[in-house]
Amino acid sequence: MRKFHPLAVAAEKQGKKIYHLNIGQPDLATPPAYFEAVRSFDKRTLAYDASPGNPGLIEAIRRYYKRLDVDLDPRDILVTTGGSEALLLTCLSILDPYTEVIIPEPYYPNYTTFVHAAGGVIRALPTNPWEGYRYAKRERIESLITKNTRAILITNPGNPTGVVLDQAEMRMIADIAKAHDLYLICDEVYREFCYDEKFGVPTMARFADIHENLVIVDSVSKRFSACGARVGCVVTKNKELQQAILKFCQSRLSVATIDQVGAEALYSVDPEFFRRSKEEYRVRRDTLISGLRKIPGLVVEEPMGAFYVMASLPVDDADKFQHWLLESFEDNGDTVMFAPGAPFYETPGKGINEVRIAYVLNREDLSRAIEVLARGIARYQREVMGVSPKALG
């Protein structure tokens, strides 16, 4: 995605306004509690915090999980520098060279870096746009398990697809992990963003019978609209794994002390904050989906969670289309950016005409962005692909 940055800078220099549908950074205000706690920090020396995490923050996380009906011991929680470090340390602790992790594709591209850093190999579980990217099929998952498989890694709710697993699907995946003695790594950083009440606030941590297999990756970034706080955690009851991850935590000494003070305050925020944030994203999702469905030839399913959707565009190549949108197109001075789909896939050649769209713009900007996208597609089809939109629609 970063390769488009220089083109975006050049487009802005030419006076174009870019609607950013490409980034996963929430735009809602961070709860003031974070900043108040940081301002009230009154120690004379900014010392390292404890390697497993600040005890006050761990207690706050424990209370948060209690509200989700999950009982944790303080030792089950290791505070990390965002969900990113939680993923990296988990991979480094679980994987040996050439061991395998099953991940439904398309997936969050940084998983590749974390798995490869540990010498592991990704076995992609294929999905497709016309099935709404749903992947919870027992035979499909089990067919990928080999003697080298160590873990299944899922993102629930999903980035980039917005897919949310229902209870039966979660149970089925938990059963597979248990039956084959695999780690189940659940990246639940978007847990709070499920738009159908039937999902509640989903977490695999409620399945007590798979605690030895389970690793939850968590973060304050999306939940509290606080990506810059860089605070996340690993939650596991597996003692051997706790020890392995703790060694990495000790070697990197501590997560930023002040960020943890702020994060502790975030966990005291009234849950009404989640309700309001979720409602705002739900309205944006509805705006986005109804706009996208009016574009002829575009394939999209309504996402049930997170703040992304994957769509298949009626263009030959989303990457090429993005270049063209930045370099050769404008609609009244406006253009648009999305994340081309191919980097979200492990399998070469997949996702070429797909894109991930993040709905982290306010409603008015979102509506305008979709209008610009629709006009961009129509003109690209005419001028670059040489076909009439009708023929494609």
Ligand X SMILES: Cc1ncc(COP(=O)(O)O)c(C=O)c1O
Q: Which residue is nearest to ligand X (CB)?
A: 82
Cβ proximity to ligand X, 70 vs 86, nearer residue: 86
CA proximity to 89, closest of 264, 259, 255: 255
What is the DSSP-derived secondary structure letter of residue 194? Answer: B
User: DSSP for 52-107?
Assistant: T--HHHHHHHHHHHHHTT----GGGEEEESHHHHHHHHHHHHH--TT-EEEEESS-
Minimal distance, residue 318 CB to ligand X, in Å: 19
Start-to-end CA span in the chain (Å): 28
Minimal distance, residue 220 CB to ligand X, in Å: 7
Cβ proximity to ligand X, 82 vs 132, nearer residue: 82
Tell me, what amino acid is at 30?
T
Minimal distance, residue 227 CB to ligand X, in Å: 5
Cβ proximity to ligand X, 10 vs 117, nearer residue: 117
Cβ proximity to ligand X, 225 vs 335, nearer residue: 225
Alpha helices in the chain (DSSP H): 5-13, 32-39, 55-67, 82-94, 110-117, 138-142, 167-179, 239-251, 257-266, 272-292, 318-327, 363-383, 389-392
Minimal distance, residue 221 CB to ligand X, in Å: 3
Cβ proximity to ligand X, 22 vs 219, nearer residue: 219
Minimal distance, residue 163 CB to ligand X, in Å: 12
Minimal distance, residue 393 CB to ligand X, in Å: 33
Cβ proximity to ligand X, 232 vs 262, nearer residue: 232
Binding residues for ligand X (CB under 6 A): 24, 82-84, 108, 155, 159, 187, 189, 219, 221, 227, 232
Minimal distance, residue 325 CB to ligand X, in Å: 23
Minimal distance, residue 173 CB to ligand X, in Å: 16
What is the C-alpha to C-alpha distance for residues 127 and 109, in angstroms, rounded to an integer? 16
Would residue 52 be called left, alpha or beta, if left means φ above 0 and alpha means ψ between -120 and 50 degrees?
alpha
Tell me, what amino acid is at 194?
C
User: DSSP for 213-258?
Assistant: TEEEEEESTTTTT-GGG--EEEE---HHHHHHHHHHHHHT--S-HH
What is the C-alpha to C-alpha distance for residues 164 and 156, in angstroms, rounded to an integer? 6
Cβ proximity to ligand X, 72 vs 234, nearer residue: 234
Strand order in the sheet with 183-187: 77-80, 232-235, 214-219, 183-187, 149-155, 100-104, 121-125
How far apart, in Å, are the Cα atoms of 345 and each of 103, 135, 161, 292?
A: 10, 14, 12, 22
Cβ proximity to ligand X, 103 vs 288, nearer residue: 103
